[in-house]
Amino acid sequence: MTDTVLSLDRISKRFGALLANDAISFDLKQGEIVALLGENGAGKTTLMNILFGHYVADDGSISVFGESLPPGQPRAAIQAGIGMVHQHFTLADNLTVLDNIMLGTEKPWRLSSRKSEARQRLTKLAQDFGLAIEPDKTVADLSVGERQRVEILKVLYREARILILDEPTAVLTPQESQSLFATLKKLTAQGLSIIFISHKLNEVLNVSERIFVLRAGKLVAERPTKGTTRKELAELMVGRPIAEPKIEPQPKGDVHVAIRAVTTADGLDHADLVLHGGEILGLAGVSGNGQTALANLLSGLSHPKSGSLHIFGEDAARWTPDLVTRKRIARIPEDRHAEGLVADMSVTENVIAEIYREPRFNKRGFLDWRAAEGFAEEIIKGFDVKCPSPATRVRLLSGGNMQKLILGRTLSLAPHFILACQPARGLDIGAVSYVHERLIQARKSGASVLLISDDLDEILALADRVAVIYRGRISEPLPSQQVTIQELGLMMAGHGFSEGDAHAA
């Protein structure tokens, strides 16, 4: 069990001025799960893309099962027994499981397809590895967990001996994640080796045997999982000590937002939610259960088909984004690239996007760019946005700095209600704690915060109360001290939503 199956020797890759991988070496033994831990931009994905032949390393070499792997050839990597399960699934929704798995394994010029043979092999694989699957079901009808199983089977079908899983739990409930981990253990028991890429500390501690920590393109540490702690890993990842957020209890204020039995065309189904001033309410849920619909509703992008929506005591059912901004509601959008910012415009142009109609920037239809630039400089300073000048195109900023820019733009409204959708998604730990601090500050000053997040740790760390959204309906919020991750996980899978089963059928 100690044979080395894969070794990377001083792999380096440079993109322009950025050294994405700096002489990284590590090895993988048979039957082992190693975790590759690092923040976004640490170089995890680059390294795996080099391994899989999508990129060619500037320097260094790779050997698989003792033989060196030719660079830049995904086909060679597959033949050598390397299989990659991507974060975003690469399945054809309209084909069956079997078709998806066979796709690309047959020679294109062969006229007859050997389906029954393939079916036999697939069934055997599924049995051997305990990955229950129905080969004739259409992928569109599968749950997310099942789709991931298909992805893994697809790789196994191609006779992979080394599996790379890139952020595999991003779309799973805690329970589905647990069953994935059990599957991975089964695979290694059969002699497969696994590289598990993640930035979630708990998972990495849960599943791996050894942990490699990447930071800014360098391999900064190797730790046996048994001999390390969450805190140590976090600090290795960031490179400095981290303070956990502190939230002091405080009394609830007036009702700020009241959603009653709201149904919308894009996915809310008789949703109820009441939000008070001075509290952070966390909304958990598996992505795609109506979070976006709720965010659209509160942003003024969509309107209720039935039910009522009141914000600050006013009927807000017909509010538009323009009016929502004028009512001093801050919104942190889920997708900062698609919805938050116009990447090809400058920092200045972006920070005034919500408020350029105000008289201080807008003189009879003409914009006062000097005032706008002053405002941009205020935000750059006040929110610690790292950029060369207000004229910099936003595209050139890092994800964290983009998020700070959005935060600065929207919090400068002096909001009483903050809608924060996945505010920490994709940010490094430093930026995450900055965002969280700002939300805690807002709560302290009496604002209400609705925190919609896929990350249960984030919700439990920040929220006063927690609710779960499932198939467009929202559970009764519970005080966050009284719920456990396990309970939330069950609710995220639909437990306690009795009506929902009827809807589902």
Position among 333, 423, 477, 489 found at the interface with another protein (CB under 8 A)? 333
Q: How far is the CB of 319 from another protein (least distance, A)?
A: 11
Position among 113, 190, 320, 486 found at the interface with another protein (CB under 8 A)? 320
The reply on whether position 325 binds another protein by CB under 8 A is yes
Nearest-Å Rg of the Cα atoms of the chain is 25
Q: Select the span of 273-281, 342-350, 453-461, 492-500 touching another protein (CB under 8 A).
A: 342-350
The reply on whether position 322 binds another protein by CB under 8 A is yes
Ranges of H-type helices in 395-484: 399-411, 429-444, 456-462
Per-position b or e across 285-324, b if 16+ CB within 10 A of its CB: bbeebbbbbbbbbbbbbbbbeebebbbbeeebeebeeeeb
3-state secondary structure at position 347: helix
Residue 288, sorted as left (phi over 0), alpha (psi -120 to 50) or beta, turns out to be: left
- Would you call 366 exposed, middle or buried from its count of C-beta atoms within 10 A (0-12, 13-18, 19+)? exposed
Between the CA of residue 388 and those of 337, 343, 346, what are the distances in Å?
20, 16, 11
Closest CA to 66 of 156, 2, 3: 3
The reply on whether position 366 binds another protein by CB under 8 A is yes
Query: Between 170 and 343, whose beta carbon lies closer to another protein?
Result: 343
Query: Between 190 and 320, whose beta carbon lies closer to another protein?
Result: 320
Restricting to residues 367-386, name those near another protein by CB under 8 A.
Answer: 367, 369
Between the CA of residue 312 and those of 158, 257, 317, what are the distances in Å?
58, 6, 12
Query: Between 241 and 388, whose beta carbon lies closer to another protein?
Result: 388
Position among 345, 391, 414, 504 found at the interface with another protein (CB under 8 A)? 345
The reply on whether position 331 binds another protein by CB under 8 A is yes
Query: Between 52 and 129, whose beta carbon lies closer to another protein?
Result: 52
Query: What residue type is assigned to position 180 of the chain?
Result: L
Between the CA of residue 97 and those of 119, 140, 288, what are the distances in Å?
10, 10, 22
Q: How far is the CB of 493 from another protein (least distance, A)?
A: 31
Q: Select the span of 31-39, 177-185, 334-342, 430-438 touching another protein (CB under 8 A).
A: 334-342
Restricting to residues 300-319, name those near another protein by CB under 8 A.
Answer: 300-301
By CB under 8 A, the count of residues binding another protein is 35
Q: How far is the CB of 367 from another protein (least distance, A)?
A: 6
DSSP code for 308: E
3-state secondary structure at position 418: strand
Q: How far is the CB of 51 from another protein (least distance, A)?
A: 17
Closest CA to 89 of 192, 170, 181: 170
The reply on whether position 455 binds another protein by CB under 8 A is no
Three-state secondary structure of 214-272: EECCEEEEEEEHHHCCHHHHHHHHHCCCCCCCCCCCCCCCCEEEEEEEEECCCCCCCEE
Alpha-carbon distance of 330 to 421, in angstroms, equals: 11
Restricting to residues 15-74, name those near another protein by CB under 8 A.
Answer: 15-17, 56, 72
Query: Between 251 and 365, whose beta carbon lies closer to another protein?
Result: 365
- Would you call 247 exposed, middle or buried from its count of C-beta atoms within 10 A (0-12, 13-18, 19+)? middle
Query: Between 241 and 365, whose beta carbon lies closer to another protein?
Result: 365
Query: Between 320 and 481, whose beta carbon lies closer to another protein?
Result: 320
The reply on whether position 504 binds another protein by CB under 8 A is no
Q: How far is the CB of 450 from another protein (least distance, A)?
A: 16
Give me the 386-405 binding string for another protein, x by CB under 8 A, dash otherwise.
----------x---------
The reply on whether position 359 binds another protein by CB under 8 A is no
Site residues (CB under 8 A) for another protein? 15-17, 56, 72, 299-301, 320-325, 331, 333, 338-345, 349, 353-354, 356-357, 362, 365-367, 369, 396
